[in-house]
Structure 1
Amino acid sequence: MESLIQERVMKIRQFNRFYTNIIGLINQNILESPYSLAEARILLEINNAATCTASSLVEILQIDPGYLSRILRRFKKDGLIEAVRSMTDGRSQILNITEKGRATFRQLSDASSSQLVGLLEQLPQGAQQILVHNMAAIQYMLSDKADTSITIRRHQSGDTGYIAYRHGVLYEKEYGLDHRFEKYVLQSLIAYLEDPSKGEIWIAECCGIIVGFIGIVEINKRTAQLRWFLIEPEFRGGGLGRKLVETVMEYCQQKYYNHVFLWTFKGLDAARHLYQSFGFNLTEEKENDTWNNQLIEQRWDVMLNAD
């Protein structure tokens, strides 16, 4: 786990260096203006704040006090801001932006927007949307109010295609299954969509990203099959699998099924322990050469609501 954390730390630092180079934070002046993006940000905070002091800027921007002091002296000299003594604290000075400061800030803001327009215009429309979406996700996940808990919802339009896609990608990567397995999953989902009232699919999400899913399909009035159970690798081992199976089993109890079964592969020990904890028992094993020559399929069954 420690090595995984270190790997992620290095990737974040690599991104920081890349992004800082692209945007030109601190050192790069905005087009023909003598002011940098950092200075424009300070003007923005002074302009937006009802009451602004140097100490509040240090706290908001996490900026070095000495560096900020030099910038504020320059702003005063250039006539962009003025300082008046606080009526409530004689030791503090309130920073106010002047009309010249507001005009300068508008010019800096327009120039900055022009830079970003130039950056975006190098990308196709779809790539622009992905870029903006991922930036919003980073901002959300790192904000103080971010809710990174996992939620579970019923499936919506488009989910079934994504389920087939992720099965195809992960099962090829982790078990060596080829396109025939993806076709098998897709066909089962198409059959479900023919009559979605005969079952249900649940989708697990974290910050709006799908991280797992599970489904149940009615075989007859008393029997149902658990299907399409998959957890993204990064979210395994944290209890999400148990939560999804609990959701399915509660549904089966409500529907008064007395028999639930599933098919899986031999060697998936974590899944085996999970199924056993819900009362499933191994009832059948057989070779399946359809997707992989060394694959052993297993059937697990559990009885519910016994009369």
Structure 2
Amino acid sequence: MATPQLINDIRAASRQMVRELGFMNSTLAATDYSPSAVHTLLEVGMRGSITAAELVVLLGLEKSSVSRMLARLIQAGELKEVPLAHDGRFKQLELTAQGKASVARINHYGEVQVQKAMDYLPPDRQKMVAGGLAAYASALEACRKDAPLPAGTKPEIITGYLPGMIGRISEMHANYYSRHYGFGYFFESKVAAGLAEFAGRLESERNHIWLAVQNDRVVGSVAIDGEDLGNNEAHLRWFILDDACRGSGIGRQLLASAMQFCDRQQFSAVQLWTFSGLNAARRLYESFGFRLAKEWQGDQWGSSMLEQQFTRHRVSEQR
């Protein structure tokens, strides 16, 4: 998944493109027509003919909006309706002679605009722009049509030790908590040391770790330590997501896998320790049956925080 910074960069570039290409104006490409009308003329020109229904899908606009726009273009003499050869009840749209002249002027305007912009870029970056824009446009279309993600795009959940996971999980913790809570090396080193110790006990059937992996990179994790608390209680540890995965549902998948494991192992309870302010995580914990057991002012993470303990009792005991 894209990082928040990359998303912000793309959005900023997109807004600038909208302004520079003239989409903020009421008309486009040195015509008297709206952007949607200009696009319609270009699409009809490239295809030779098209139906109104096909235009609705192509432009991604409301049917009523397309109907009003087509009526104006027909009235202006740019388009004409021609009965379909195999079924006269339906009509297709074609350019008139005036429409063809308008499209020629629009194409000339666009070609000059692109050429002037490309003059500011070396050849290798010109190709980069063409490829990047085409890929991004295709991705936006796929998103609008809710197409399935390509293989390898969506993180997969794997279990067990993965080389590099200790450093990567520690890195995700350090990045998130330093940025939002000012935690420093003490916190990061404590996470890394605890995780390294736990990794040496993963062969025990009472211990388990789940990793969300995308393009061979760990982007999320959660672990169940079934040995450190005693009393047949499990300890939920190292639940973290890469910033780009927040809100994607991966966190819920990780927690669901962990809770299913705890139920199979018949732990009497699952405990987790966190601190106040992590509201999204708290809502997720509570959706799996965790309840706030106690809270206190503590400094075990290197800063004074309102620490909290949440408990989830065995499912059979909650009924």
Q: Contact conserved, 1:262 with 1:299, CA < 8 A, in 2? A: yes
- Is the CA contact 1:265–1:295 (under 8 Å) kept in the aligned structure 2? yes
Where does residue 183 of structure 1 map in the other structure? 189
Query: What's 2:259 paired with?
Result: 249
> If the length of structure 1 is used for normalisation, what is the TM-score?
0.53
- Could you say which residue in structure 2 is the equivalent of 1:144? 145
Checking the alignment, whether the CA contact within 8 Å between 1:52 and 1:96 is kept in structure 2 is: no
Rounded to whole Å, the distance in 2 between the matches of 1:126 and 1:191 is: 46
Task: Quote how far apart the aligned CAs of 1:21 are.
Answer: 1.9
Maintained 8 Å contact 2:295/2:309 = yes
The alignment's TM-score, normalised by the length of structure 2, stands at 0.51
Structure 2 distance, partners of 1:203, 1:254, is: 21
2:70 maps to 65
Equivalence map 1:101-140=2 (5 Å) = 138-140=140-142
1:154 corresponds to 2:157: yes
Q: CA deviation at 1:248?
A: 1.2
Greater RCO, CA 8 A, separation 6+:
2
Aligned runs of 1:153-172 on 2, under 5 Å? 153-155=156-158, 163-172=169-178
Count of residues in Structure 1 that have an aligned counterpart in Structure 2: 269
- Give structure 1 stretches of 5+ with no counterpart: 1-12, 30-35, 77-81
Shift of 1:284: 9.2
Question: Does the alignment pair 1:214 with 2:217?
Answer: no
Amino acid at match of 1:182: E
Q: CA deviation at 1:250?
A: 0.8
Alpha-carbon distance, 1:261 to partner? 3.4
Q: Is the 8 A contact 2:208 2:224 kept in 1?
A: yes
Aligned match of 1:27: 28
Distance 1:273 1:124, change over 3 A: same
In structure 1, give the amino acid aligned to 2:209: E
Following the alignment from structure 1 to structure 2, what is the Cα–Cα distance between the partners of residues 302 and 167? 27
- Opposite residue 18 of structure 1, the aligned amino acid is Q
Consecutive unaligned residues in structure 2, runs of 5 or more: 1-10
Q: 1:170 to 1:295 in 2, by over 3 A?
A: same
What's 2:88 paired with? Answer: 89
Residue in 2 that maps onto 1:263:
273
Amino acid at match of 1:52: I
Counterpart amino acid of residue 19 in structure 1:
M
Other-structure match for 1:225:
235
* Counterpart in the other structure of 1:291: 302
Give 3-state SS (helix, strand or coil) of 2:237's partner: strand
Structure 1 residue identity aligned to 2:224:
I
